[in-house]
Structure 1
C-alpha cells in the first residue's frame, strides 16, 4: 500500500483528492501547509472520532493525512489489556515457527519470507480461541501475579504478538559471521558466543532507534506505508467498518487460498520442479546452447521464462506500489536481458573469461580462486601468495552490481536533499521545540497519554551491546581491529535518519552493504575477510534494525499501543528467536555443507549458499585484498564511475521534473532503480516476468478498475499465499529433510540433468 501521488512536489498527502492513495505515483516529498475543508471526511469517521462539534478535535484530525484517516481509527481505549499470559504463549509460538522458516530460507536460492500477515490472522484466531477456553484463574507467583484469561482477546494484545514475531521470527545479520566462519574456514564459534554476537548486533541497531524516533516516528506526513498496511489488516480482521458477512467471506477466501497454495507448492518445491521454471524457448530447441543460455531461468537470462512457484513471486506483487514494480522490472530487463547477453556474446568486461552469472571468485585464467591461500595462519594477508596467484576476479554481473551499489548509496543522499529538503527542514523545526509530541494531530494527541520509552533504556541497551562486542572482538577471532568497530558504529548511526526517511515515505529499504565494505577496505586492508563482514554487520544493523523497530513503533502508534510495551515486545521476540536461529544454522551447515560451500551442486539449484558465498566474496575483495590492490586492475576501473552516476542521476531527474512537471520524472526514483540494478540474479532469473504480470493485475488493474474487490481481498490473498508457501517449506523440512533426508525420485518432471528441459549440446 505504498502511497504515491501524481501531483507535483508542492502537493500534500492530506490534500489528496482521490478516494484512496494511488500507488502508481510516489509520495510527495514536500507536504505543503495548505488548508482544506474536510468536514465530509470527518463525518465518514464520526463513529471513531466522536462528536465533531469541538473545533480543536476537527483540527487535530485534519492534520492526519487522508490515507491514514481512511485506514486508522481516530479513537482509543486505554483500558484494553496488552501484555498478558496469552500474549507470551502466542508470541513464543509464532517467533519460534518463523525463526525456523526464515533461517532455512537464508541459505536457499529462492525463499519466501515468514509472512506477518499469517501471524496477524492466525494469532487473531488462536487468541480468540484462548479467550473462550482458558479459565479466568488468578495465578500468583510471588513477585507478580496474572490472570490466565483477562477477558476478550484485545486488539492491543494482537498487535504485540505480531510485533514480537516481526522482531524475532526472522534471520539476522549475525548469521553472516557465524556461517562464513564455519562454512569456508571451518571455524565454529562457541554456541554461547555466537548467540551473544547475534543479540549484540541486533540490539545495537535497536538502541539507534533513539536517534530517529523523534525525527521519523511522530510526523504524521511520514506514513510508513508498510506499517499502514498492517494496520489496515488489523481493522479488516476485526470487522471494523464493514458487515459481519463480508468479514466471514474474506476469511473463507483466505483459507481457500492458503490451503490451495500449500498443496500446490509441494509440486514446484519437491515433486514437480519443472513447474518452477517454464523455459518456453527450450521446449522448441532443448539441445541448443544459445537457447539454453537465453531461456533458462536457472543460470541463464530467463527470457520469456515463467514460474508457477510462489517462492519466486511472493506477496510483494500485492504490496509494492505499481510504480516501484515498474522500476524494478525495467532494472531487471536492463541488467539480465540487455547487459548479460551483451557481455556474453561480445566478451566485454571479462564476459568470456569468467562465467557471467556466477557469484564465485576466479583467477585470471578463469579457474576458481583458492582464496584460503590468501590468509596466513594468524589471519593476515599473504602477500607472497597474492603475487603468485594474481588479482581476484568476479563475474561480470557481480561487477556491475558493485558499480550500481556505489551509485545507490550516494543517490539516496542526493535524492533526499533534492526532493525532501523542505520536509526535513520542517521536521527539524518541530524537533527544536524539544517536545516528544510537538505534533498536534489526532494520533499524537491520543498517544500522549502513554509513557514514552525513556532515553536511558536506549543508552543502557547500547552500552551492554557495545561492551559485549568489544569482549567478543578480543576473545572470538573476529579479526576486526577494535577501532574500526567504533568507526562502524559512528558511521552506521549517521545513516539512520536519511535512510529511514526514504523508507518512511516509500517502503523501500536501501542496501548499504557495498559502501560499508569499501570503507572498511580502505581502513584495514589485508585483514581476514571475516573482519570485514563483522564491520558490515555492525554498520548495517545500525540502520536495518533501527528501521525495523521504528516501523513497529509506527504500527504501535497507529494502533495506540504503549511505546514501552512495543519496545519490550521486540526485545522479547529476539530473546527467543536468536537461539533458534543458531540451532537452524547448525542443522543446515551440518546437513547441506557440500552444496553450500560449492563442493557439490544441488540438482534443484536451491541449496546454493548464494548468500554466504556472496558475503565471503566481498569480504575477500575489500577486507583481505583491499580496494587499493583490487582497483589497480583495469577491469575494476569503471567501478569508480558509479559514484558520479549516483550524484548526477537524481540531479538530472530533478531538473527534468522541474522543467516538465507533467511528465512525472519524479516517479523515476534513481535510488530504487540503482538498488534493483545491484541485485544479483545469477542463479535464478525465472521470477521477475511472472511477478511483473501479477503485479500489473494486482496493483494496477484491480486497484484502478476493481477497487472494492482490491480493498477486500488484495492483502488477504497475498497473506494467504505467503502463509501456504511457508507451511509447505516447513512441512518438507520436517518430513523429508530433518531426521532422514528423502529425495524425490527422478522422473520426467524432476529430470536430474535439467528440470527445465534446457539440456544444451553437452547433454
Structure 2
C-alpha cells in the first residue's frame, strides 16, 4: 500500500530480485561491512536491501489470505482423521510463486482505493518480488501453526457430549492466539533486534526464498524445481486414491497378524496400530508423516536419536513392564489412549463427574475405582516428565555458556545500533510503536477473562486462573525464547501447566485445559511470532507490514480453524466415536481422544490422585530426576573424548522424548517414518548430495500437497454423501489385528476377546 505501514511507494521498474546492488554505506562513505557475529548468518543472509520494493501489496493480501485460509482449513480437516497430516507453509511458499508471477503479468496497474479509507494501492505494482513472497509465507504460517484451543471445543462436543456456546468457543480460540502476539511484542527487542538471537531455522527459509527467486534454467535431462513439485504432486494425488478410498487397510498391514490370527500374544507383537509393530508396514504417505511430520525435513542425527529411543522404549522397557504386570498392565491393552478402571473396563466418567457442576464427585470416585491407563500411555507421561527436565539440563550443559555469552552481548549490543541488519531496518523503515503491542496484550487479557467468566463460566477457569496462566507465559517466554533462538530447541510447558492447575484447582477438566492453552500455547504462539519477525528482519520486510500481516493472519487463521471444526463437529455423524463409525470412515480423531483423556487424568481426577501415593503412579515423578541427570554422562564423555564427534550427536531430550507422540501415534508410524527418513536423509544425502539439496524439501512439499488435495476432493464428492468405498476386507482402517487390544490378565472380560 502506497505510503503506509512502512512500505515505500511502489514503482514498476524495480528489479525482481530483492537483493539488488543497493549501496549501504557508512558515515565515511565507504561500503559497510557485514558485522553480524554469527557466521551462519553472515554466509546466508545478504546485507543489501532496496527499500523501494513494495511488500504489502494487493497481491500480498489476496494470496496471503487465501494461503492462510486454505492451510488452516486443511490442517483442521486432517486433524480429525485416522492419519492426520500437517500441511506446512512450505507447500504454500512453492505454490504461490507461479500464482504471484501470473498476477504480475495479467493484472492491470490501475490504483484502487481501500473501502472506507483514503488508502490507495496498485493492483499490479510491478514484477512479483521476494518481499511479497515472504509476507505471503508469513500469512500462510499463521494458517499452518494450528489452534490448540479448538481441541477444547472438540472434547466438549464429541467426547463429553455437552453443548458449548459457539461465541465462547470462538473467543477462546482467538484470545489464546492473540495473547501470544502480545508477549511477542514485549520481547521482540531482545529476541529480534539482537544479532545473537539468530533463530537457526529461519536460515533454511532464507535459503529457500533465494533459491526460488534466482533465475533457474531447466537442467539438461532434468526438471526445474517447480516442474518437479508439480510432477510429485500429481503422482501423490493419483496414488492416494488407493489408501484413501479403495484400500484403506494398506495404511497399516501386519504380516504377523495375517499368519497368527488366533494368538493374542502374536497380535500384540505384530500390530502396527495397537501393538509393537513387529513386521508391520504402511504404504501411505499419511502413515509416514501423519504424526511425526515429514521425515524428509528431519536431520539424520535426529532421526537416529528418535529411533534409538523408540526401540529402547518399545522393545525393552514396555515388554519388561507389561509382561511383569507393572501397574496391573495386563488388565488393559498394551497401547491405548483410553482410561480404565481396575476391572479393565473403560473408565465410566459419568460415575465420577457431577453433571450439574461438571466437577469431580468425590463420593462417586471413592465408591468406584482409581483411574488406570495402558502401559504405553503410563510411560509416555514418564517420558514427558523426563524430556522437560532433560531439555533444561541438556541446554545448560551443552549451550549454557554460549547462551550466557549471547545474552551478555545482547544487552551490550542493544545499547548501540546493533549489527548491519538491525541498522538497515532502523534506517530504512519505521518501527512498530510499542503501544500497539501493549494494546493487543491488555485487550486480549481482558477479553480472555470475559470469555472464561462470561457465558455461564463455560470453561470453569476463574479470572485469577487467567492471570496466573499469563504470569507463567510471561515468565517463560524470554528464557525459552533465548534457548530456541540460539539452539533451535524449545522445551514445552504443557506438563508444567497441567501440573500447576491440576494441584491448585483439581476436579475441573475444562479449567485444566483452558489454563494449559492460556499458559502454554500463548507462549509457543509468541515464539512463533518472534521467529517470523526475525525472518522479516533478515529479509528486510517493513516492520509495520509484518505487524499488520501477522495480526490479520492470526485472526483469519483462528477463525478458519474454529469454523472448520464447528462444521465437521455438527455435520459428521458420530465423529470421533470409532465404535459407531462405519467401516472406512476416517473420522476417528486420534489426537483429540488423547486430549480428552488428558483432561480426565489432569483435570477430573487430577495429579494429586494420579501421581502421588493416593494414586497408582507415584513412581513416575522419578522421571524428572532421570531426565535431569540423563544428559550428564553424554556431556562428560563428549568433553573427555572431543575427537569422537558422534558423542555430541546423542541428544537425550530427543531420545527420551522420542515416543511421547504415542498415543495418538502408533508404532507403524515410527517404523515407516524412520525407514523413509534414513533412506533420504542418510543414504541419499551421502550418495546423491546434489539431488538431495535440489529436490528433497520440494519432494516433501509435493507429497503433502497431493495427499491434501485428493483427500478434500474425495470428501466433498464421495465421503460427505456416505459413499465410503467398495465393501471388502481392505476397506477397514484397522490393521486386522483385533486381538491386539485384548487384556491378558486372568478373568478380565473385553468385547471380542477370549477370557484367559
In structure 2, C-alpha distance between the alignment counterparts of 1:500 and 1:280, rounded to whole Å: 46
Match 1:398 to one of 368, 372, 377: 377
Q: Are the counterparts in 2 of residues 650 and 670 from structure 1 also a CA contact under 8 Å?
A: yes
**2:407 pairs with one of 424, 428, 433:** 428
Cα displacement string for residues 430-459 of structure 1 (whole angstroms, at most 9, x for unaligned residues):
34347387532x433333332333322221
Change (3 A) 1:378 1:690: closer
User: Cα–Cα, structure 1 residues 573 and 303, in superposed 2: closer, same or farther, change >3 Å?
Assistant: same
Separation in 2, partners of 1:661, 1:80: 48
1:144–1:50 Cα change, 3 Å: closer
Contact 2:181/2:525 (8 A) holds in 1 = yes
**After superposition, where does 1:522-671 map in structure 2 within 5 Å?**
522-526=503-507, 528-592=508-572, 594-597=574-577, 599-600=579-580, 603-604=583-584, 606-630=586-610, 631-633=612-614, 635-664=616-645, 665-671=647-653
State the 1:585 CA deviation: 1.1
| Residue 661 of structure 1, CA deviation | 2.4
Report matched runs for 1:183-582 at 5 Å: 183-220=158-195, 222-239=197-214, 243=217, 245=219, 249-314=224-289, 316-376=294-354, 377-433=356-412, 435=414, 438-440=417-419, 442-449=420-427, 450-476=429-455, 477-505=458-486, 507-526=488-507, 528-582=508-562
In structure 1, the residue matched to 2:713 is 731
**Cα separation, partners in 2 of 1:601 and 1:400, compared to 1, 3 Å:** farther
Q: CA deviation at 1:742?
A: 1.4
Q: CA deviation at 1:581?
A: 1.6
Q: Distance in 2 between matches of 1:660 and 1:514?
A: 35
Aligned-partner Cα distance in 1 for 2:432–2:478: 19
The DSSP-based 3-state class of the residue aligned with 1:607 is coil
Alpha-carbon separation, structure 2, partners of 1:641 and 1:254: 48
- For 1:126, the equivalent position in structure 2 comes to 99
Q: Match of 1:139, SS? A: strand
Task: State whether residues 325 and 695 of structure 1, in contact with CA within 8 Å, keep that contact through their aligned partners in structure 2.
Answer: yes
TM-score (norm 1): 0.87
What are the Cα deviations for residues 238-257 of structure 1, in whole angstroms up to 9, with x where unaligned? Answer: 125x6565896222211111
- 8 Å CA contact 1:250, 1:716 repeated in 2: yes
Give the aligned partner of residue 130 of structure 2.
155
Q: Aligned equivalents of 1:346 and 1:602: distance in 2?
A: 37
Q: Is the 8 A contact 1:102 1:114 kept in 2?
A: yes
User: How far apart are residue 508 of structure 1 and its match?
Assistant: 4.5
1:246-282 Cα offsets, whole Å, 9 max, x none, are 8962222111111111111121122222321232333
Alpha-carbon separation, structure 1, partners of 2:679 and 2:27? 44
Identify if the C-alpha distance between structure 1 residues 170 and 102 changes in structure 2 by more than 3 Å, giving closer, same or farther.
farther
CA distance in 1, matches of 2:30, 2:286: 47
298-307 vs 545-554, which moves further:
298-307
> Does the 8 Å contact 1:360/1:394 carry over to 2?
yes
Q: 1:97 aligns with which of 70, 73, 97?
A: 70
Pick which of 627-636 and 580-589 moved more: 627-636
- Aligned CA distance change for structure 1 residues 693 and 220 (closer, same or farther; 3 Å): farther
Distance 1:671 1:493, change over 3 A: farther
Aligned-residue CA RMSD (Å): 2.9
For residues 568 and 57 of structure 1, the distance between their equivalents in structure 2, rounded to whole angstroms, comes to 35
Say which SS state the counterpart of residue 83 (structure 2) adopts: coil
Mean Cα deviation higher: 170-179 or 584-593: 584-593
Structure 2 vs 1, CA of residues 484 and 211 (structure 1 numbering), >3 Å: closer, same or farther? same
* Secondary structure class of the residue paired with 1:640: helix
1:700 matched to 2:682:
yes
Q: Is the contact made by 1:413 and 1:498 (CA closer than 8 Å) also made in structure 2? A: no
Note if contact 1:103-1:170 (Cα within 8 Å) is conserved in structure 2: no
CA distance in 1, matches of 2:716, 2:503: 45
SS in 1 for 2:127: coil
Name the SS of the counterpart of 2:240 in structure 1: helix
For residues 302 and 595 of structure 1, the distance between their equivalents in structure 2, rounded to whole angstroms, comes to 27
Could you say if the C-alpha distance between residues 366 and 350 of structure 1 is closer, same or farther in structure 2, counting changes exceeding 3 Å? same
Query: Which of 718, 721, 741 in structure 1 is aligned with 2:722?
Result: 741
Q: Write out per-residue CA displacement over residues 167-186 of structure 1, whole angstroms, 9 at most, x where no aligned residue.
A: 13453011122222222333
Larger displacement relative to structure 2 (544-553 or 65-74): 65-74
2:182–2:437 CA contact under 8 A, matched in 1: yes
Q: Tell me: CA distance 1:452–1:373, structure 2 relative to 1, closer, same or farther (3 Å).
A: farther
* Total equivalences in the alignment: 714
* SS class of match (1:146): strand
Q: CA distance change for structure 1 residues 474 and 758 in 2, over 3 Å: closer, same or farther?
A: closer
Structure 1 unmatched ranges of 5 or more: 1-44
Please name the residue that 2:15 is paired with.
Answer: none
- Taking the aligned partners of 1:165 and 1:745, their CA distance within structure 2 comes to 37
Equivalence for 2:10: none
Q: Does 1:674 align with 2:652?
A: no
Q: Deviations over 1:383-438 (max 9, x none)?
A: 11011112111111111111111122222222222222222222332343473875
Match of 1:115 among 74, 88, 112: 88
Shift of 1:649: 1.3
Per-residue CA deviations over 1:56-86 (Å, capped at 9, x if unaligned) read 9888436354444444333211111111111
CA distance in 2, matches of 1:478, 1:741: 34
Q: Is residue 256–residue 279 contact of structure 2 (8 Å, CA) maintained in 1?
A: yes
- 2:694 corresponds to: 712
Where does structure 2 lack aligned partners over 5 or more consecutive residues?
1-17, 743-751
Specify which of 34, 40, 60 is matched with residue 61 of structure 1: 34
| Alpha-carbon separation, structure 2, partners of 1:645 and 1:419 | 18
Conserved in 2, the CA contact under 8 Å of 1:513 and 1:536?
yes
> What TM-score do the two structures reach when normalised by structure 2?
0.88
